[in-house]
Amino acid sequence: MSQELTQSENKKNNSGALLLGTGLAVASMILVPALAVRLGLGASVTGALRIALMKASSRVACGSTSNS
């Protein structure tokens, strides 16, 4: 019984991280380029923002907290 409860809590934590990671990925693929065009940002700035958000998305989804 205790093991099932632990697994259930683990799944809840994973689904929250997955949802956050998906949100960051969508933001980097859709929202950042749209805002960059609207604000007149250059391609290099847009690319850097997308890379940063995709890295954050990967860290959140994998559960990593390191900076490397």
Closest alpha carbon to 17 in 56, 62, 65, 68? 62
pTM, two decimals, is 0.63
Residue 40 has pLDDT above 90, yes or no: yes
**Those residues with Cβ within 8 angstroms of residue 30's Cβ, 6 or more apart along the chain or in another chain:** none
pLDDT reported for residue 44: 92
Output the average pLDDT for the chain: 78
Q: What is the pLDDT of residues 44-63, one digit of tens each?
A: 999 998 898 888 888 887 87
